[in-house]
Chain A
Amino acid sequence: MKLQVVTPKEREVDLDVDSVTLPGSLGEMTILPGHTALVSNLDVGVLAYEVNGTTTLVAISCGFVEVLDDQVTVLSETCEEKNEIDVERAQRAYGRAQERMAKAVSDDRIDVARAEYARRRALARLLVTGKHN
């Protein structure tokens, strides 16, 4: 099964995989070879693909996936591998987003959706680096 991850900046991933797990907007889904044709929205989150028993994680932001004839094409605005992520920055962003969400209860000037998006994005980055506790 072929996996491609493309962003407007570059083609990030292009290889043969055994399975792909994606952050679908209805929940996590795993695509195995022979999957039926599918188009789905993707949430910001972690994409995991498995090759010969080794799993690799990358952080993606909102996008789409198309599955057709054992070809999985993921379109995302960004795609970051472990070594591209600044852990400290992600941790700070995560803390900040959580603070904002907590404050949002009493302060309606805060855009909750944006804070939540920032939180999930930071969380995805931390999960990829394995630094989330």
Chain B
Amino acid sequence: MANLKAIRKRIQGVAGTQQLTRAMKLVAAAKLRRAQESALAQRPYAEALGKIIGHLGNRLEEGAHPLLAKRPMKKALLLLYSSDRGLCGAFNLNICRAGEQFIQGQADDGVEVAVAAIGKKGFEFMQGREYPVVHNYQDLFADITFDSISRIGNELAAEYVKGDYDGLFVLYNQFKSPAVQRVTLQQVLPVSLEDTDADDNLVEHLFEPSKEELLDAVFPMYVNLQLFQALLESVASEMGARMTAMDNATNNAADLIKRLTLIYNKARQETITRELMDIVGGAEALS
């Protein structure tokens, strides 16, 4: 009997967990949709900014702006996008391992890498392995605004101009589908003009107040936009990963419940049979 009771309790426990994972899956799905929408919504802005840079930027010299300045790479900064929360499969582990590989790869080339972490998980991983973490950005995810990422971008750009490091890399999970994320490394600083669509046969633009002042405003914005895009991709990936992980957990719980119910029923049947045998045996002994 004690065995029966224990199995029943176990089934109830698993059912409770299943309810939880199912709820988390639904929440992640809703958040994923929102993240996908904002990733789509910033595209017109990115395109418009790319066009302006194209118009400003063709035939630009490297010395035209401090953020374009290429220096021999001695120190690099890695901006690592992870999440604040767990229960999202291998999402954080994948990105942290890729970060570690990058740091070691650069170290082999004689480049020192410092880490700036977005999200608690990446921070804990990097600090736990005693890599130098110079920035730790948390609480970004509750309310994702361009403003909060600009603050980070401006800080990092200022450090680049000051010469604290010679290159800024971002490492984030690119969203492919809810089940697939691809770890992506991208160099943000110095700004490279190769991927903007420069067009040579253009109408000559009027620049107000002046080309130089416009560049001063456009490039930081371009950097911030790239950081923002990476953040949106990372958040969508996180939600996708969590949704998939929680879906698997819910299915596993269903399997487990099925198996336990089978065991429970068998055990119950056995008890009944044994009791019947006892009664029959007792009746025979009496007659």
Residues of A within 8 A of B (CB): 4, 6-11, 24-26, 36-41, 62, 64, 66, 68, 73, 75, 77
Contact = CB atoms under 8 A, between A and B. Distances in A.
B286 interface: no
Contacts of A25: 208-209, 213
A9 B146 contact: yes
Given A41-B214, A77-B150, A66 B206 contact: no
B94 interface: no
B38 A11 contact: no
A66 B208 contact: no
A128 to B, nearest CB: 19
A39 B52 contact: yes
Given A39-B55, A64-B217, A66-B51, A9 B41 contact: yes
Chain B facing A: main interface SS: helix
Given A37-B204, A37-B205, 14 more contacts: A6-B45, A7-B146, A8-B42, A8-B45, A8-B225, A9-B41, A11-B45, A26-B208, A36-B206, A39-B206, A40-B206, A62-B217, A64-B221, A73-B51
Nearest to A76: B45
Nearest to A64: B52
Contacts of A64: 49, 52, 214, 217-218, 221
Nearest 10 CB-CB pairings of A with B: A40-B208, A8-B146, A6-B45, A10-B41, A38-B206, A37-B203, A37-B205, A8-B42, A6-B44, A11-B44
Give chain B's interface residue range (CB within 8 Å of chain A). 20 to 34
A77 B220 CA distance: 13
Contacts of A66: 48, 51-52, 55, 205
Chain A facing B: main interface SS: strand
Contact of A26 (B48, B52, B209, B221): B209
Contacts of B205: 37-39, 66, 68
Contacts of B49: 64, 75
B228 interface: yes
B208 A41 contact: yes
Contact of A68 (B45, B203, B217): B203
Given A6-B45, A9-B41, A64-B214, A41 B52 contact: no
Interface string B18-54: 0000000000000000000010011011001101100
Contact of A8 (B51, B209, B228): B228
Contacts of A36: 206
Interface in B54-87: 55-56
A73 B146 CA distance: 19
B147 interface: yes
Contacts of B225: 8
